[in-house]
Structure 1
């Protein structure tokens, strides 16, 4: 009895939070409701005895995917007031698409039937008192559904690349590194060993020190912070001259005369 009550509580909160993900006007609130939906889905997995799926849902989706969605929404700085300007114009098209999806869902649920050989599917995961839920799930994922599993990984990879591309900004103060040169440099090129007396501290030695060319070794030539960039900045400062415009000699009345 108690298990049924807990199930209905988690299921009700899950349905309400999933509805608010779609209906919330603020996208940040939508992401927060999505996190709430993930937590309640994890609770349902625990009731079903799938503790590995529950922990994976909390760690992976709540700790990584949902937080990634939140960061992307906050960093894009989208003008949502401007996006809502054409809602009335495209409302009929959205209504038609929503109606088609509703009809498809109704047809799918009305024609859904329980398989007659449902009791014969147990051979995928052999039941054993010593076999854990994680081991059985691994057998199913990496044998019968390996291609679908890898396809899901590719979808997540595309989403990650898309988030990086959308939030990338080309700034003049950005530092870019040459990965091959960074891997080829030695410890002597980037570190400077100092004999600091006991109790003197770092401030007595002039602060944190590093070789002047440590960044130049691995940086892309000409980027911010390199020696070439500093020389260019110094050259531009020396060539800059203050232009003084002398005031006009005549007055407005004399010019008119």
Structure 2
């Protein structure tokens, strides 16, 4: 058995165990951490399959951004675990049926690939690397689709900022334009005062 095959079985076993812990553990923070572990092992499997771009995207997007957001939301909210697990066993038969169907579909696809192993990867990808070949395809053959996707993402970012940027009366707001125009004389004012000697003499006499 090759070393890559051993790594594949190790990553797969840890991935299955971490996935089971995600749906069986009672603590939501622990479930999110087990999901991070599952993502890392899935990224390792993608790396073994020579899909470096998908592996890096899985770590950067899901582990680095999505799961951090999940952890913040879970830790900030007061989640009642009893209400969440109230209907677990009532929905278990339907969930188990859906899971079995998904497993059978994936098994059929994989078994068909094992019976007729066809190499669908272009020869150029083996010569220059998977990530570089994907970049060449995006900026040559799929340039229009890539630009449309970038425009949609930019529109989503602008819309999210516009929805969250609100002028509220109970929140202090600083205008950057006004802050730049402020001078030193507007912030600091020096007042010259005469020393109050009479008050000090009265205090000494009282002592």
Q: TM-score, normalization: structure 2?
A: 0.62
What is the 5 A alignment of 1:44-63? 44-63=45-64
Residue 205 of structure 2 corresponds to none
Residue 181 of structure 2 corresponds to 188
Q: Where does structure 1 lack aligned partners over 5 or more consecutive residues?
A: 166-170, 195-208, 212-257
Residue 138 of structure 1 corresponds to 135
Residue 229 of structure 1 corresponds to none
Residue 41 of structure 1 corresponds to 42
SS in 2 for 1:126: helix
Deviations 1:225-257 (A, max 9, x none): xxxxxxxxxxxxxxxxxxxxxxxxxxxxxxxxx
Cα 1:70–1:106 shift into 2, 3 Å: closer
Q: TM-score, normalization: structure 1?
A: 0.51
Cα 1:72–1:122 shift into 2, 3 Å: same
Cα 1:6–1:128 shift into 2, 3 Å: closer
Q: Where does structure 2 lack aligned partners over 5 or more consecutive residues?
A: 189-207
Q: Name the count of aligned residue pairs.
A: 172
Cα distance in 2, alignment partners of residues 106 and 63 from structure 1: 28
User: Post-superposition shift, 1:187?
Assistant: 1.5
Structure number with higher relative contact order (C-alpha < 8 Å, ≥ 6 residues apart): 2
Residue 199 of structure 2 corresponds to none
Residue 75 of structure 1 corresponds to 76
User: Post-superposition shift, 1:72?
Assistant: 0.8
Note the aligned Cα RMSD (angstroms): 4.1
Residue 197 of structure 1 corresponds to none
Higher helix share: 2
Cα distance in 2, alignment partners of residues 100 and 49 from structure 1: 33
